[in-house]
Amino acid sequence: MNHQAATATPTTRPGAIVTLEFHPKTRGHIPRGLTLAAVLIILVILAVIIGNILIGGISTISWEFLSHPPEQGMEAGGIFPAIFGTVALVILMVIAVVPVGVMTAIYLHEYTPPTSRTTRLIRVAINNLAGVPSIVFGLFGLGFFIAFVGGGLDSLFYAEDGGPVWGQPAIVWAALTLALLTLPVVIVSTEEALRTIPPELKDASYALGGTKLQTIWRIIIPHAAPGILTGSILAVSRGAGEVAPIMFTGAAYYLPYLPTKLNDQFMELGYHIYVMATQSPDVEATKPLLYGTVLVLLVLTFILNSVAIMIRSRMRKNRAGS
Amino acid sequence: MPVRSFDSDVSMEEKLPAKAGDMNDKQPIKMSVADVDFFYGRAQALFDISMDIERHRVTALIGPSGCGKSTFLRTLNRMNETIPGTRMEGTVLLDGRDVYRDFTEPSAVRTRVGMVFQKSNPFPKSIFDNVAYGLRVNGIKDKQLITNVVEESLHRAALWDEVRDKLDNSAFMLSGGQQQRLCIARALAVRPEVILMDEPASALDPISTAKIEDLIGELKRDYTIVIVTHNMQQAARVSDCTAFFYEGVLIEFGDTKQMFTRPEKKKTEDYITGRFG
Amino acid sequence: MIQKLKFKPKSRVREFIGEKLIALNAFAALIAILLIFAFVFKEAVPVFTDSYIQEDASFDKLIFQQEYYEGRPAKWSWQPNSEAPKYSLYPLFLGTLKAALIAMLFAIPLGVGAAIYASEFASRRLREIIKPAIETLAAIPSVVLGFFALMILATVLQETLGLTFRLNALNAGIALGLAVIPIVFTVAEDAMTSVPRSLRDAATALGANPWQVSLTTVLPAAMPGIAAGVVLGFGRAVGETMIVLMASGNAAIISASFLDSVRTFSATIAAELAEVVFGSTHYTVLFMIGSLLFVFTFLINLGGDVILARLKERLQGRIG
C-alpha cells in the first residue's frame, strides 16, 4: 500500500490508500476568553450596582424607616406610606390578573385545539401585550380607564357639577393598568404548569363521570398550583417595579393619607424613587432616604423573584422525577 | 356464542342459545356495537366494527399495536370525546339504549361503564379520597355512605386488608400493583355495570399481574368486563370471548378457547402463533 | 346484583356558563390589545382630522422641517411649550435611536458573548451561576437602573471622559443596555441549547473538537435565534421609559454626538403628559407619539416572534 500526502500529485495506483493531512485545529481559546470576559463584565457590573445600593442604603434601614411617613420634605422620616401603597396596589393587581390569566391559560390548554385560529389569535395578542412599552400602558390607563371608564361612571352616577369621582387618578385604575401589563407573565407561567399535567390524570376524572369543569377545579388547578403561584409572584415583582404605567394613573409623591378607598391616590416605592431622584431641591439631603427606598425596592424584588424561582425549579424537578 | 367471519364472501351468524345459570332473565347481551367507524380527524382508525359484549363475561380485545383496540374500547364509554377532532359513526348500545344518542351527558354513560387505564393513574390525593372521588363528583355528600362505599370498593378490589389502616396516606405510597388495584377500587366505587380495562397489567410485575387476573375472574360475577391486552396468554387465561383486531378491522370474534385452538382466519392464526405482532 | 347509587345529574347549564365565562376571560388579552390600539390611536387621530390642531401639528409638520420664524432657515424643533409651539418629532426620533443604538452596541457583545460562553463553554456549575445572575439583572426594576445611571454612572463617565453634559445618550444608553442584556442572553442561549444533540454528535463524530462543533454547527443553526434576541432587545430599548427619563438629560436636541443629552419618545410622553390639557394639541401629539411607539414595537416584536417561530420549525424539521 502506498501512503501519500493529499497534497502530492496524484500518481497513485488504483486501490492505494491516500492519507489526508489535516491542519492543526483551533481549540477556540480566544473565543473562550472573549466570551468569558463578557460574562465577567456582566457579573462585575451587577455586583457594583447591588453593592453600591447596599452600601448606600443599609445605614438608612431601620424599623423607624419602614414604619414612619416621610418628614421635612423627604429629608427625614421613613417611607411607610410608599410601602403601604405598593402593597395595596399589588394586591389589587393580583386580584384582577390571576383569575383572568389562569382562565386564559386553561382556555387555551383545555378548550381549544392547539392549531385553531382562536388559539393562534389569542397567542398573538398575548405576545404583543408583552411587548407594549410601559409608557403606552400609562397612556392607555389615562385614556381608557380614567377618561372613558371613570369618566363614564361619573356621568352615569354622579352630578355634573361635583368634581370627578372615578374619572381621576386612582389606585384602582393603576392596578388594572398593571394587571394588563403583567397578564402575559401569569398566562405563560400557568401554561407551563398545565403542560406538566399527565393526560391520564384527566382521563381518570372523566372516566369516573367528572365533567370538564369538575376536572378543572378538582384535578387540573391543584396540579398547576405551583405554576400559578410562580406566575403570581413574578407578576407582583414586575408590578412593584414598574413606574411609567402608574405615573398618570394614580401614583403621587406626597399624600397625607393612606389609600383606603378604591378611588384614592397612593404613594409607591418606584414612583417615589423617580421623583426623589430627579426633582429633589437638595439632592444631598434626600440621598439617605433615596438610597434607603431603592434598597427596600430591590430587596423586595429579589425576595419575590427568588421565591418564585424556587417554586418553579421544584415544580420542574417534580415533573422530571415522576 | 356467535361466531362471525368478516370475509367479504362468507358471512354467517348464529342465534345464541340462552345460557344456563344466568342469574336474571334479562338479555345476555350487555353492550352491542354495530357498524362503528371512527376517525381521528381525517384518518380512519376503526372500520365497520360490529360485535356483542355479553353480560358477566370477560371479553378480550387483542391485536398488534396500533390496531385500534384501545380506540374501540374508548368508544364504549365515550372517552374518545375528550380528544378534540374525533368522530364516530355507528351505534353503541348499553342495555338496548344508544350510548351516544340516548344519553345526554357522557358522564351518565361513564358512571355505568367504568374504565381502568394502562398505567395506573391515582390522583395526588389520599387513598380514601381517590376512591371517594367518583362519588363526590357525582353529588354524593353523605359522609357515612361515602365511607361505606369506599370500604366496600376496596374489598372488591382485594386491597382493603393492605390499606385499611392507612387510608389517609398518599396514594403514591402504594406499590405499582397496589396502585392499579386502587384504580380498580376507584372505578368500582361508582358502581358501574361494565368495566373497561386498557392493558391493566402491562406495567406490572408477574405477581401483581396474577393478582389482577384473579381479581378479574372474581369481578366478572358482578360486572361485565372488556379487557384490552397485548399479552395473548393473558387473554387466553382470563377471557371468555376474544376479539382480534387488525389495522382497525375486527378480523375475528368468538369463544376464547376456540379462537386460540382453532382460529377461523389465517391472520388470527398468524398473530396468535406469533408470526407478527 | 349491585345496587345503583343515586347520583346527582350534571347541570348542563352550569357547564355551559362555566365554559363561556372561561372563554370570555380568555379573550381579555385580545380585547386588551385591541382596546389599547383603539384608545391610544383615538386620541391621536385629531392630528389628521382636526384643523385647529393641524395649525401647529399636522402630520407633515411633525415630520418635516418647518420655517418657524420668518427669515430664519427651516429646522426641526421640539418645543411644545414655547410661545410658538413646535412639534417636530425628528429630535425625539434621533434621541430614541441614539440611545437604543448605544444600548445594542453595549448589550449585543455582552449578551451574545455571555450566551455563547454559557451554552458552549461553561461547566454545569458555572452555568448555574451565570443564569441566575442574568435573571437577577433582569429582575432589577428599570427605575433602579435609571437611578444607578443618574447617580453613579453619570459621575463616572463625566470624570473619566471629561464630559460637558453629565446626563447624555451614552449614560442612558449603557444603562439601557443593561436592561436589554437579559433579553438578548435568554433568547440567544435558549436558541443555542435547543440545537439538537444529534447535530452536535454528528460533527463530533467526524472529528471536530468542541469549539469547532460550536463554530461550525451550533452557531449557524442558532443564528436566527440570536438574531431574534437582538431584535426583541432592540424593541425593548426603544420602548423603555424610566431609564432614559432619568439618565438622558431630556434635551430634545439634534446632534451627531453621543455625548450630548437626548430625549426619547417614551421619555417625552412621561415627562410632559402630566401638564397637558386634555384634548389640547400637545396632548394629541403626545398620543401620536404613543401610537408611533406602539406600532413600532409591535412590528419589532412581531418580527422577532416570526424569526423564532421559523427557527423552531427548522430545528424540529431536522429531527423529524
What pLDDT, in 10s, does the model give residues C92-122?
999 999 999 999 999 999 999 999 999 988 8
Q: Which domains does chain C have, with CATH numbers?
A: 95-319 (1.10.3720.10)
Assess if residue A16 is contained within a domain: no
Minimal-distance CA residue of chain C relative to A252: C274
On the question of pLDDT at B69 being above 70, the answer is yes
Residue A149 domain boundaries: 54-321
User: Taking residues C269-281, what's their average pLDDT?
Assistant: 87
Cα gap A299→A310, rounded to integer Å: 16
Find chain A residues with C-beta within 8 A of B140's C-beta.
none
Dump strand ranges (E) for B73-158.
86-94, 97-98, 113-116
Q: Kind of pairing, strands B249-255 and B4-5?
A: antiparallel
Assess if residue A196 is contained within a domain: yes
User: Taking residues B242-264, what's their average pLDDT?
Assistant: 90
Assess if residue A65 is contained within a domain: yes
| Residue A263, domain CATH | 1.10.3720.10
Question: Is A211 an interface residue toward B (CB < 8 Å)?
Answer: yes
For the record, the C-alpha cell of A285 comes out as 439631603
User: Taking residues B151-180, what's their average pLDDT?
Assistant: 92
Q: Give the pLDDT of residue B6.
A: 34
Q: Are C296 and C238 in contact (CB under 8 A)?
A: yes
Distant-in-sequence, close-in-space partners of C105: CB < 8 Å, separation ≥ 6: C173, C177
Q: Give the pLDDT of residue C317.
A: 67
Distance, in angstroms, between A4 CA and closest chain B CA?
53
Q: Give the pLDDT of residue A87.
A: 93
Interface test with B, best of A200, A208, A212, A319 (most B CBs within 10 A): A208
pTM for this entry: 0.85
Q: Is the ipTM beyond the 0.90 threshold? A: no
Cα gap C244→C149, rounded to integer Å: 9
Residue A179: helix, strand or coil by DSSP?
helix
Percentage of residues in chain B with pLDDT exceeding 70? 90
Find chain C residues with C-beta within 8 A of B138's C-beta.
5, 7-8
Dump strand ranges (E) for chain C.
78-79, 86-87
Question: Is C14 an interface residue toward B (CB < 8 Å)?
Answer: no
Q: How many Cα atoms are found within 13 Å in the side-chain-facing hemisphere of B275?
A: 8
Tell me the residues of chain B between 233 and 272 that have a Cβ less than 8 Å away from chain C. none
Among C3, C8, C12, the residue with its CB nearest the CB of B139 is C8
In angstroms, the Cα distances linking A20 to A5, A7, B196 are: 6, 8, 66
In angstroms, the Cα distances linking C200 to A71, C108, C214, C224 are: 63, 25, 8, 17
Low-confidence residues in chain A, pLDDT < 70: 1-12, 319-322
Residue owning grid cell 443604538? C101
Assess if residue A40 is contained within a domain: no
Distant-in-sequence, close-in-space partners of A247: CB < 8 Å, separation ≥ 6: A138, A271, A274, C270, C273, C274
Percentage of residues in chain C with pLDDT exceeding 90? 39
Find chain A residues with C-beta within 8 A of B71's C-beta.
none
Stated as kind and residue range, the H or E segment containing C13 is helix C12-26
On the question of pLDDT at B14 being above 60, the answer is no
Among C4, C5, C12, the residue with its CB nearest the CB of B140 is C5
Q: Is A84 exposed, middle or buried (0-12, 13-18, 19+ CB in 10 A)?
A: middle
Find chain A residues with C-beta within 8 A of B111's C-beta.
208-209
Number of Cβ within a 10 Å radius of residue B249: 16
Among C143, C214, C298, the residue with its CB nearest the CB of A128 is C298
Are the Cβ atoms of C40 and A211 closer than 8 angstroms? no
On the question of pLDDT at C306 being above 90, the answer is no
Assess if residue A141 is contained within a domain: yes
Q: Give the pLDDT of residue C319.
A: 46
Are the Cβ atoms of B149 and C5 closer than 8 angstroms? yes
Q: Give the pLDDT of residue B7.
A: 33
Tell me the residues of chain C between 173 and 212 that have a Cβ less than 8 Å away from chain A. 178, 181, 207-212
Distant-in-sequence, close-in-space partners of C86: CB < 8 Å, separation ≥ 6: C56, C66, C68, C77, C78, C79, C80
Q: Kind of pairing, strands B86-94 and B241-246?
A: unpaired
Among A104, A213, A305, the residue with its CB nearest the CB of C29 is A104
User: Taking residues C183-193, what's their average pLDDT?
Assistant: 92
Q: Are C264 and C246 in contact (CB under 8 A)?
A: no
Q: Give the pLDDT of residue C98.
A: 92
Distance, in angstroms, between A131 CA and closest chain C CA?
6
Q: Give the pLDDT of residue A304.
A: 92
Minimal-distance CA residue of chain A relative to B86: A113
Band the pLDDT of C60: cuts 50, 70, 90.
Answer: confident
Q: Give the pLDDT of residue B19.
A: 39
Question: Is B144 an interface residue toward C (CB < 8 Å)?
Answer: no
Q: Give the pLDDT of residue B17.
A: 36
On the question of pLDDT at C216 being above 90, the answer is no
Question: Is C23 an interface residue toward A (CB < 8 Å)?
Answer: yes
Q: Kind of pairing, strands B241-246 and B58-62?
A: parallel
Residue B70 or C52, more confident: B70
Assess if residue A198 is contained within a domain: yes
Tell me the residues of chain A between 112 and 171 that have a Cβ less than 8 Å away from chain C. 121-122, 125-140, 142-144, 147-148
Minimal-distance CA residue of chain C relative to B152: C2
Q: For residue A116, give the DSSP letter.
A: S
Are the Cβ atoms of B190 and A210 closer than 8 angstroms? no
Cα gap C173→C99, rounded to integer Å: 5
Q: Are A179 and A96 in contact (CB under 8 A)?
A: yes
Assess if residue A274 is contained within a domain: yes
* Maximum Cα–Cα distance across chain A: 107
Stated as kind and residue range, the H or E segment containing A76 is strand A76-77
Q: Which of B187, B240, B230, B189 is nearest to B209 (CA)?
A: B230
Minimal-distance CA residue of chain A relative to B75: A207
Q: Give the pLDDT of residue C318.
A: 55
Cα gap C40→A6, rounded to integer Å: 69
Q: Give the pLDDT of residue A319.
A: 61
Q: Give the pLDDT of residue B277.
A: 61
* Maximum Cα–Cα distance across chain C: 107
Distant-in-sequence, close-in-space partners of A17: CB < 8 Å, separation ≥ 6: A1, A2, A3
Q: Give the pLDDT of residue B2.
A: 40
Q: Give the pLDDT of residue C304.
A: 85
User: Taking residues C222-235, what's their average pLDDT?
Assistant: 90
Buried b / exposed e along C195-228 (16+ C-beta atoms within 10 A): beeebbeebeeeebebbbbbbebbbebbebbbbb
Find chain C residues with C-beta within 8 A of B105's C-beta.
9-10, 12
Find chain C residues with C-beta within 8 A of A280's C-beta.
none
Cα gap C289→C238, rounded to integer Å: 12
Tell me the residues of chain C between 69 and 98 that have a Cβ less than 8 Å away from chain A. none
Number of Cβ within a 10 Å radius of residue B273: 11
Q: How many domains does chain A have?
A: 1
Assess if residue A14 is contained within a domain: no
